Amino acid sequence: MMARSVIQHGVALAVFAAICAFVLAFTQAKTAEPIAQAKAKARAQALAEVMPPDYYLDPILDESFEVSSATGTRFIAPGTKILRALSNGMVVGVIIPIRTPEGYSGDIELLVGVDNTLAITGVRVLAHKETPGLGDKIQRNKSPWIDGFLGKSLSNTQVNAWTVKKDGGSFDQFTGATITPRAVIRGVYSTLIYAQDNYQILFGSPLPDVLSDITLTEDSIREKLISQLGAPTNPIKGATYAE
């Protein structure tokens, strides 16, 4: 009797486990597609916000390449797909996905748009685990803080300005949350360094001398950029080219 009881309990547990596994698999299958669609929609919206659609003419998803192991960085891993924005066959900007490990609660994933004058066209957060009500102000729907990067470049923003005001920089920190904005700022700054160091690969042409000459004033940089690159059709407000 005892042996039969043990067998019955075992069968019951096996059936219960099978039912649970089926329900779990069914639920995952049912929700996987909506979740994937939501992520794709959020990414598409972020792409449009970091590189405004009227800034380029050709489909932005048609041109991309992977970061090599030789050029990967702490924030831009090898294999990362960078998108190019083209206008009349010329690369006018790139969208670089980055991941900073310096967040308060873990990694922060970002999209950073950079034009061919190495000015930022936009930054958006794709994913993070920062504290709600504190660190989550890096999200555009929570705070306009992220817009503070628009138009900034290595030419118009000194090295020591790339941090929060508490540390002597030019960016606001959040009340009760300084680590999060620091992490985002460092990630964005490193992206500009990467874009400058890999300009030829990203934009398909040599880095204009004016973009690597740190002795020039901002006004002279604008003038030289116009003469070397020409002004973009739809300039980004605050960037280092003439309007």
Distance CA 102, CA 93 (A): 26
| pLDDT at site 118 | 94
Cα dihedral: 182, 39, 42, 58 (round 10)? 110
**pLDDT for residue 20 is more than 80:** no
Q: How do residues 54-113 score in pLDDT, each as one tens digit? A: 666 666 666 678 998 888 899 999 999 999 988 888 888 999 999 999 999 999 999 999
**pLDDT for residue 200 is more than 80:** yes
State percent of the chain over pLDDT 90: 46
What is the residue whose two structure tokens read 């504290």? 131
> Hey, where are the domains in the chain?
48-229
Distance CA 240, CA 218 (A): 7
Cut 0.85: pTM above it: no
Structure tokens at 128: 């993070």
137: β partners: none
Average pLDDT score, the chain: 78
